[in-house]
Chain A
Amino acid sequence: MNAANGNRTESAGTPALEVADVSVTYRTKRRTVEAVRHVSFRADAGSVLAIVGESGSGKSTIVNALLGLLPQGTDVEGRFLLEGRDMTHADERDWLSVRGGLIGFVPQDPQSSLDPTMRIGDQIAEIVRLHRGREAGDVRAESLRLLAEVGIDDPGLRARQYPHELSGGLKQRVLIAQALAGDPRIIVADEPTSALDVTVQKVVLDLLASLVRRRGITLVMITHDLAVAADRADRILVMLHGEAIEQNDTATLLAHPSRDYTRRLLALVPKIDNGNGGDGAMADGASATDGNDGDDERTAVSWLDVTREYRAAVSERAPHGVLTAVDHVSLKAYRGRTLAIVGESGSGKSTLLSMALALNKPTSGAVRVLGDDLGALRGRALRQARRNFQLVQQNPFDSLDPSLTVRQSIEEPLRAFGYGTAARREVRVRELVDRVALPQTVLKARPGELSGGQSQRVAIARALAVEPQLVFLDEPVSALDVSVQDQILRLLAGLQRDLGLTYVFVSHNLAVVSEIADDVAVMCRGRLVEYGTVERVLRHPAEAYTRQLLDAIPGRG
C-alpha cells in the first residue's frame, strides 16, 4: 500500500531507508522475546517518517536496529537497507562507518544523553573530528558554527559550559548539533521532545523540521504522541505489539484510519476545544473567579500570599543567590472540584504542592488545608491532619517500595493511622483494589511485576486508603502511555464523583488538564499568571503566556 503516494522527491529511485519483512528476537538465557515481527517500511530521501507506538510496541527496537545498537545475540531476520546498502547482518566495523556519518541520531532524554563531565564544545568537537578528520581545518570553528546552526545564542559561551548548566531545550539543541556534525543524510530521532516542556517541545520540533528541510535530510521520528506525528510527518507508521499495523501518508491516515487501534489513538489525542461542560457541577458561588477572599468551608486549600525562596547558585533567575520559586501567590482549591496547577518546569507548581502537603514551609504567607493553618500544626496534630490529604506521585515505578507487595503497600497507611484489626484492614485493602479496578490477584505481586498503569492504580488505592477528602496529584499520568493515561484519568474522575474528593492536580500538559480540571491556575517563573475556570482560561485566555502554552500543544493544526 505504500506504492505511489510518496508526495516528495520520487526521482531518487533508491529510498534512503528500506526495511523489508524484518523480525527482531531478543534471546537471553531465560527466554526469547520477539520484539518486532515482520515489519516493512521505507522512507524516501528527504521525507519525514513518524513511527508511532506505545511502550512495548517495538519502536525502540526499530531505533536500535536502524543504528546497529541491538545487543549481542539478537536475531534479525529480513532485509534492512540504508541507501541501498544491506546492513541486516553488518558487523561493528561496518556500523562504525555508517553511524554518525550516514545516519545521525537524536536521543530521547537530553538530561542524560550528554557526558556530564565534558564541556559542550569538546563534546561537539569530538564528533566533528571523528567524521571530518583532517579535512575540517578548524574543528573549533566548525563546532561553533554547528551550535549557531541549531539556534544557540552565544555559541562561544555555551561551548565552555557543562551540560548541567544548560536547560533541557538547549541540551536537546546540542544533541541535534551533534547529530548534524557528521553531515548525515538520515536522522533517527527517538522521542526527541518527550522530556521537554510543551513550549520548548514546539521550538525544538520546528528547529528539527527546518534543518531537515534545509539540508535535505531524511528524518525518522519515533514518538508515542500521534499529535506530534500528525503535525510533522509526511508518512506515519503505527506499531502495536511488535507489528506495523498500519502505514500511510499522514493526511490519508488521519482521515481514514483503517485499524481500530489507530482510530482509538486518534480519539485519545486530547482536544482542548471539546470543553467539558457536561459536568454541570459548577455552582455559581463556587466558581474560581468569585474573588471572595474569605476562607469559607467550600475552600479545601488556600495559599495566602505565599512566597518561597531558596538559596541557589547565582544565575539569571537568582541574581543575588536567592531563587524565588513561588512569588506572592494567592490561590484556592474548592471542595469537590479539581484545581489544576499548570506550568513548565521551574514554574513553581511543585513547590506550591509541597507546601500544601506540609513537606515544605513558605518563606512568607500561609497555607490553609481543610481549615487548618499548616504553619501552626506540629507533631501529632500535623500527623492527624495528614490523614485528610494524600499524594499520588508522578512516577508510579518509583513511588512504590519495590520490596513490598501490593497488599503491604496499600495496607501501610492503614497501619500508620492504626486502622482496625488485621482482618478489618484486609477487607479494606480488597475493597480498595476493587475501587481502582484491579484484580484481587495483584495483591501478592510486587511493583516490578506491574505495568505503569497498574502501579499508578496501586498508588491511587494507597492514597485513598485512609479516606482522605483531598488528594494531591503530581503529574499522575505523564509517565504513562496515552491509552493508559486515558484510563487513569477516567478512574480519577469516577472516584471523585463517587467519593466527593477534591483534587489538586499538577501538570504541564494542558490537554490533560482540559479533560479533568474544573479550575486552572497557570504558573510561570514562580508567579500566578492566570486563574479561572477551565472554560474561561483555556477557551478565552487573557494572558499572552497562556495563549503561548495553548499554541504549543501538538495536534492543533
Chain B
Amino acid sequence: MTKANLAYLGRRLLQAVVVLWASYTLTFIILHLLPSDPMQTILQSRGQDDASAQEIAALAHQYGLDRPVLVQYAAMMLAALHGDLGVSYMQGESVSGLIASRLGMTLGVSLLAIALAVVVAFGLAFLAAYTRHPALRGLLGFVPNVTISVPIFWVGLLLMQVFSFSLGWLPAMGADGWETMVLPVVTMSIPPAALLGRMLMNGFDEALASPFITAARARGLGRGRLVLRHVVKNGSLPAFTVLGMIVGSTVTGAIVAETVFSRQGVGMLIQQSVQAQDIPVVQGCVLLAAAAFVVINLAVDMIYPVFDPRIIVRTAGKERS
C-alpha cells in the first residue's frame, strides 16, 4: 500500500468516526425530545409502579438520570468509548449482552435475505439483458418498479396469510428451525432485491448500448458471451455502490419482519426499545447499525478499484480534467 493510499484510508476512518458520533448524538437528542419519562419505563419493568418519591430518586440516581442532560450525554458517550453501552432501562441487563444474545438470529436472516436479493436481482437483470423478446423484457423491467413501492409489512402479512394460514406450509411465527426463517427472509429480501434489480437492469441496458458492446458484437461475439463477459461486469458497477444502502434497508427490514413474524431478534429489540424509550438500548442498536453501514461503505470503496481499474484512490481533490 502506498503512502497516498494510507492517507486516504486514514481520512476515510476519520469520516467513519464522525458518522458514528453524529448518529449517536442525533439519536440521543431525538430520544430526549420525545415527551415521555424514562423513569416510567424503569419503574414499570421493576414492578414498582407505586414506588415512593424517595425510591424513585434513588433509582434515578442509580441510572444517572438525576444529572443534567449534557452530563448524561457526556457520561454515556465516555462509557461507550470504553465499550460500555450501559444497562437497559426495561430489562435491567447490559445493552451489549442484550444485543449479542439477539444478533445471531437477525444476522442469519439478514444475510440470507441479502443473498436472496442479489440472486433474484441478478437473475432478473440477466434475463432482461439476454432475451431479445421485447414483451418479456418489458415485463421483467416492470417487476422491480412495482415491488420497490410495495410496503413490506403488507407483503409479510400476505405471505403469512397464504403460506401459513391457508396452505399451512410454513410456520407463521417463532424462531425454531429453518422453516421459520423462510417467510422473514423472503419478506426482507424484497426491498433490496427491487432496488438492486432496478440498478442492475439500468446498468445492463446502459452497458448493452455502449459502443464497446457493438464493437464486440461486430467481432463475432455471441449474445451469451457478450452478456456474461462484458455486460455483467460493466453493468454491475453502479449497483455495487448502493450496497451500503441495501445493508441499511435490511435494518429497517429486520424491524418490520421480526415484528410481523414475532422473532426475538435485534429488529424486534429496536422496535420495543423505541416504544418503551429504553434509551441505552436504542443508542446501542443505532451505533451497531451505523457501524455496519460505515464498514460496508468503506469496504465497497476499497474494493471498487479492483472491479473498475479506472478508479484511482486519490489523496487530493485536484484532478486533471
Binding site for B on A (CB under 8 A): 67, 69, 72, 92, 96, 98-101, 104-105, 107-109, 112-118, 126-127, 130-131, 162, 164, 175, 178-179, 181-182, 188, 310-313, 323, 325
Q: Is there a chain A Cβ closer than 8 Å to B32's Cβ? A: no
| Contact present for A107 and B309 (CB under 8 Å) | no
Q: Is there a chain A Cβ closer than 8 Å to B82's Cβ? A: no
| Contact present for A310 and B320 (CB under 8 Å) | yes
Residue in contact with A105 in the complex, picked from B134, B219, B230, CB distance below 8 Å: B219
Query: Known: A109-B211, A311-B316. Contact between A116 and B309, CB under 8 A?
Result: yes
Shortest C-beta distance, B78 to chain A (Å), equals: 41
| Contact present for B219 and A108 (CB under 8 Å) | no
- How long is the Cα–Cα vector from A345 to B319 in the complex, in angstroms? 17
Query: Known: A116-B308, A179-B219. Contact between A311 and B214, CB under 8 A?
Result: no
How many residue pairs link A and B with beta carbons under 8 A? The number is 91
- B185-228 Cβ-contact flags toward A at 8 Å (1 or 0): 00000000000000000000000001110111111111101000
Residue in contact with B307 in the complex, picked from A104, A105, A117, A178, CB distance below 8 Å: A117
**Size of the chain B interface, CB-CB below 8 angstroms:** 30
Can you add 12 more A-B contacts, CB < 8 Å, to A115-B216, A127-B219? A67-B217, A69-B214, A99-B218, A100-B220, A112-B210, A113-B212, A114-B212, A115-B212, A127-B221, A130-B220, A164-B310, A311-B320
Q: Is there a chain A Cβ closer than 8 Å to B229's Cβ? A: yes
| Contact present for B220 and A162 (CB under 8 Å) | no
| Contact present for B211 and A112 (CB under 8 Å) | yes
8 A Cβ contacts from B40-61 to A: none
Query: Known: A112-B212, A117-B234, A313-B312. Contact between A69 and B219, CB under 8 A?
Result: no
Shortest C-beta distance, B209 to chain A (Å), equals: 11
Shortest C-beta distance, B279 to chain A (Å), equals: 47
Please indicate which of the listed interface residues A98, A100, A175, A188 has the most CB atoms of chain B within 10 Å of its own CB.
A100
Binding site for A on B (CB under 8 A): 132, 134, 210-212, 214-223, 225, 229-230, 233-234, 237, 307-310, 312, 316, 318-320
| Contact present for B210 and A178 (CB under 8 Å) | no
Shortest C-beta distance, B138 to chain A (Å), equals: 13
| Contact present for B318 and A96 (CB under 8 Å) | no
- How long is the Cα–Cα vector from A244 to B316 in the complex, in angstroms? 55
Residues of B within 8 A of A101 (CB): 220
Q: Which single residue of chain A is at the shortest CB-CB distance from B318?
A: A311
- How long is the Cα–Cα vector from A425 to B237 in the complex, in angstroms? 47
| Contact present for A69 and B215 (CB under 8 Å) | no
Query: Known: A96-B220, A130-B220. Contact between A105 and B309, CB under 8 A?
Result: no
- How long is the Cα–Cα vector from A101 to B221 in the complex, in angstroms? 11
Query: Known: A116-B309, A116-B310, A311-B318. Contact between A108 and B217, CB under 8 A?
Result: no
- How long is the Cα–Cα vector from A498 to B160 in the complex, in angstroms? 79
- How long is the Cα–Cα vector from A335 to B95 in the complex, in angstroms? 76
| Contact present for A131 and B316 (CB under 8 Å) | no
| Contact present for B320 and A323 (CB under 8 Å) | yes
Which 4 A-B pairs rank lowest in CB-CB distance, beginning with the nearest?
A: A100-B220, A105-B218, A99-B220, A100-B219
- How long is the Cα–Cα vector from A164 to B220 in the complex, in angstroms? 24
- How long is the Cα–Cα vector from A555 to B161 in the complex, in angstroms? 78
- How long is the Cα–Cα vector from A517 to B247 in the complex, in angstroms? 59
- How long is the Cα–Cα vector from A108 to B316 in the complex, in angstroms? 34
Please indicate which of the listed interface residues B134, B216, B221, B309 has the most CB atoms of chain A within 10 Å of its own CB.
B216
Residues of A within 8 A of B320 (CB): 310-312, 323, 325
Residues of A within 8 A of B309 (CB): 116-117, 162, 164
- How long is the Cα–Cα vector from A148 to B68 in the complex, in angstroms? 77
| Contact present for B234 and A69 (CB under 8 Å) | no
Q: Which single residue of chain B is at the shortest CB-CB distance from A354?
A: B321
Residues of B within 8 A of A112 (CB): 210-212
Q: Can you offer 28 A-B residue contacts whose CB atoms are under 8 A?
A: A67-B217, A67-B218, A72-B132, A96-B220, A96-B222, A99-B218, A99-B220, A105-B215, A107-B211, A107-B215, A113-B211, A113-B214, A114-B215, A115-B212, A115-B233, A118-B233, A126-B221, A127-B221, A130-B220, A131-B220, A162-B309, A162-B310, A164-B309, A179-B219, A310-B318, A310-B319, A311-B319, A325-B320
Residues of B within 8 A of A113 (CB): 211-212, 214-215
| Contact present for B310 and A100 (CB under 8 Å) | no
Q: Which single residue of chain B is at the shortest CB-CB distance from A318?
A: B320
Q: Which single residue of chain A is at the shortest CB-CB distance from B207?
A: A115
Shortest C-beta distance, B240 to chain A (Å), equals: 12
Shortest C-beta distance, A319 to chain B (Å), equals: 15
Q: Which single residue of chain B is at the shortest CB-CB distance from A312?
A: B320
Shortest C-beta distance, B10 to chain A (Å), equals: 18
Shortest C-beta distance, A114 to chain B (Å), equals: 6
Residues of B within 8 A of A100 (CB): 218-221
Residues of B within 8 A of A323 (CB): 320
Q: Which single residue of chain B is at the shortest CB-CB distance from A92?
A: B223
Shortest C-beta distance, A513 to chain B (Å), equals: 24
Shortest C-beta distance, B8 to chain A (Å), equals: 14
- How long is the Cα–Cα vector from A310 to B316 in the complex, in angstroms? 11
Residues of B within 8 A of A130 (CB): 219-221, 225
- How long is the Cα–Cα vector from A61 to B215 in the complex, in angstroms? 15
Shortest C-beta distance, B127 to chain A (Å), equals: 17
| Contact present for A126 and B307 (CB under 8 Å) | no
Residue in contact with A99 in the complex, picked from B217, B230, B312, CB distance below 8 Å: B217
Residues of A within 8 A of B211 (CB): 107-109, 112-113
